[in-house]
Amino acid sequence: MQDFPLHGVYIETLSTNNIEMKTMKLWRIAFVMLAAFSLTSCSNDDDNDVYEAAELGGTWQKVYEEGVVDAGMVQYTFRPQSANNGTVDIFTSDWAAGDTTVYRIYTVTDAGHLQISPKPDDTSVALTVDCDIRRLTSTQMIWNKPGTNEEISRFKKVK
């Protein structure tokens, strides 16, 4: 008595089922990898636009993009006099101009719009800043052009 009269057909069916099982397994693995990648690549963007007004006080050093050579150094030292205004010392240092400090006043709205302007009695170079603070935490500050998402400066807190 023969167990498998259509031995060749049985083997062919087994091979087809085996291929289908392997294909399903590959699809499952691909789906799991896609799901894992999707979950890890998505981040919560809500923390990008953090504005903690109390963190403005202190010294902030401008951070330059990688590859910028001889950018010098720029530091802003904010000294709040109230929640919305104060004085700011702007220290710049580079190989061509040397070290310079200018003294300005600033105002900042509750929404994070920052204006730095000369003191009323200041007759030196008119350095002004008008920007939106997109991010302000205890370690990082990012300035955007007013009313846009275009980043103009990035800072790290040094003091």
Q: What is the pTM of this model?
A: 0.65
Q: Are 101 and 89 in contact (CB under 8 A)?
A: yes
The larger pLDDT score, comparing residue 58 to residue 23, is at 58
Single-letter amino acid code for the residue at 149: N
66-85 tens-digit pLDDT: 777 666 889 999 999 998 99
pLDDT at 38 over 70: no
Q: Please state, as a whole number, how many other Cβ atoms lie within 10 Å of the Cβ of residue 134.
A: 20
Distance (Å, whole) CA 91 – CA 131: 19
List, as own/partner pairs, every contact residues 99-105 make where C-beta atoms lie below 8 angstroms and the sequence separation is at least 24, other chains included: 102/127
Q: Are 158 and 75 in contact (CB under 8 A)?
A: yes
For the domain covering 48-157, report its CATH number.
Answer: 2.40.128.370
Phi-psi region of 7 (alpha: psi -120 to 50; beta: other; left: phi over 0): alpha
Domain residue limits, the chain = 1-42, 48-157
pLDDT at 157 over 90: yes
130-156 tens-digit pLDDT: 999 999 999 999 999 998 999 999 999
Pick from 108, 109, 106: which is nearest to 118 by CA? Answer: 106
User: Could you tell me where the DSSP H helices lie in 42-81?
Assistant: none
